[in-house]
């Protein structure tokens, strides 16, 4: 499996370890609802008054729920890559176990026109930008499972 070296651009939102890249979420200890991003002070479930959350890795695969091509830069915490703004595709992927929909850019080289609602998507890591010290800052992106890139036989 290929590994991208660098550090996450958004600390605490996702991580990479021996199991590969995965998002970091929060689960309410009272009702079990999952949340992403993992920072929150109270449970958003109106039927729950939980305030204690377990931090845990989320599924790295889900179904494409929606997507759109962005023709303007999003607001922070988005970090614009250097140079002129280039339109890109954003995907909303629903993680089945968590019943959570997570936004992310679509991986480089995946045309918007190739996406189909409901297709299986997996999390990948790509370099977002390189900081002043020359360290690669990484972010998660979504890529169709069927688009390949790995041989799928590493187990």
Q: Residues 119-148 vs Zn ion: string with x where CB under 5 A?
A: ------------------------------
Terminal Cα distance for the chain, rounded:
10
Helix H segments across 5-154? none
Q: Is the CB of 26 or the CB of 110 nearer to Zn ion?
A: 26
Query: Alpha-carbon distance 121 to 83, whole Å?
Result: 28
- Binding of Zn ion at residue 112 (CB under 5 A)? no
- Binding of Zn ion at residue 45 (CB under 5 A)? yes
Answer for the pair 92, 66: CB distance below 8 angstroms, yes or no: yes
Answer for the pair 142, 91: CB distance below 8 angstroms, yes or no: yes
Considering only 31, 52, 80, 116, the residue that binds Zn ion (CB under 5 A) is: 31
Query: Which DSSP symbol is given to 36?
Result: S
Stretch that binds Zn ion, among 9-17, 38-46, 82-90, 135-143 (CB under 5 A): 38-46
- Binding of Zn ion at residue 23 (CB under 5 A)? no
Q: Which residues bind Zn ion (CB under 5 A)?
A: 28, 30-31, 33, 43, 45, 48, 50
């Amino acid at each position: 499996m290929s590994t991208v070296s660098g550090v996450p651009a958004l600390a605490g939102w996702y991580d990479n370890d021996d199991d590969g890249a995965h998002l970091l979420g929060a689960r309410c200890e009272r009702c079990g609802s999952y949340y992403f991003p993992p920072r929150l002070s109270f449970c958003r479930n109106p039927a729950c008054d939980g305030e204690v959350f377990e931090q845990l890795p989320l599924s790295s695969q889900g179904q494409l729920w929606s997507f759109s091509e962005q023709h303007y830069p999003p607001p922070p915490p988005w970090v614009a890559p250097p140079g002129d703004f280039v339109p890109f595709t954003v995907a909303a992927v629903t993680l089945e176990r968590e019943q959570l929909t997570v936004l992310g850019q679509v991986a480089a080289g995946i045309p918007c026109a190739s996406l189909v609602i409901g297709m299986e998507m997996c999390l990948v890591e790509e370099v977002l930008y390189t900081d002043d010290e020359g360290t690669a800052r990484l972010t998660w992106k979504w890529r169709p499972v069927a688009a390949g890139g790995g041989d799928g036989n590493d187990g």
